[in-house]
């Protein structure tokens, strides 16, 4: 555990017990997996730091990329930083989550098709009316009812 003392010139980050960089200090030069410091402000020189509410970087850690005279820790911290580590990522870089979808199948080029003239439509069937047939005379004798 790092000692609470005057800040060495080579500290990457400095935690302060009071706001506006006042009070006792905790110098961060390397990862601290097991510490306990009630931090109210932080001064960061170069790289961002991850501050955690539990030992060994447990809990919902926060990333701090710039100095802050008023460090508002989430409720889970109960006002105490229990572990801290430097991050090698620049503060503006966001690393996307890995894509869990299967890769798309390779594209297969469709065979080249030549334009063909439109197919001719079949002629519609046309019915020609039959010529009128002359009526045949009725050769049947009318039914007579006897009476």
Task: Give the whole-angstrom CA distance, residue 61 versus residue 87.
Answer: 12
Provide the percentage of residues in the chain whose pLDDT is more than 70.
Answer: 53
Is 93 contained in some domain? no
Is 136 contained in some domain? no
For 23-36, how does the pLDDT look when each residue is reduced to its tens digit (9 = 90+)?
999 999 999 999 99
| Statement: residue 10 has pLDDT above 80 | no
Is 28 contained in some domain? yes
| Statement: residue 15 has pLDDT above 90 | yes
Q: What is the pLDDT of residue 91?
A: 47
| Statement: residue 61 has pLDDT above 90 | yes
Domain count within the chain: 1
Is 1 contained in some domain? no
Average pLDDT over residues 84-100: 65
Is 34 contained in some domain? yes
Q: Confidence class of residue 12 from pLDDT cuts 50, 70 and 90?
A: confident
Q: Which domain holds residue 70?
A: 13-86
Is 33 contained in some domain? yes
Q: For residue 64, what is the domain's CATH number?
A: 2.60.20.10
Q: What is the pLDDT of residue 117?
A: 63
Is 7 contained in some domain? no
Is 115 contained in some domain? no
Average pLDDT of the residues of the chain: 77
């Amino acid at each position: 555990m790092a000692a609470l003392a005057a800040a060495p010139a080579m500290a990457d980050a400095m935690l302060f017990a009071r706001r506006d960089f006042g009070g006792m200090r905790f110098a961060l030069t390397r990862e601290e997996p097991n510490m306990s410091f009630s931090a109210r402000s932080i001064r960061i020189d170069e790289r961002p730091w991850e501050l955690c509410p539990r030992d060994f970087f447990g809990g919902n850690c926060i990333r701090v990329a710039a100095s802050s005279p008023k460090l508002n820790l989430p409720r889970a911290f109960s006002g105490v930083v229990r572990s801290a580590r430097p991050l090698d990522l620049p503060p503006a870089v966001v690393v996307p989550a890995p894509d869990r979808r299967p890769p798309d199948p390779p594209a297969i080029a469709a065979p080249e098709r030549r334009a063909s003239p439109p197919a001719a439509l079949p002629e519609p069937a046309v019915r020609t009316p039959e010529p009128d047939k002359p009526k045949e005379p009725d050769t049947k004798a009318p039914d007579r009812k006897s009476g």
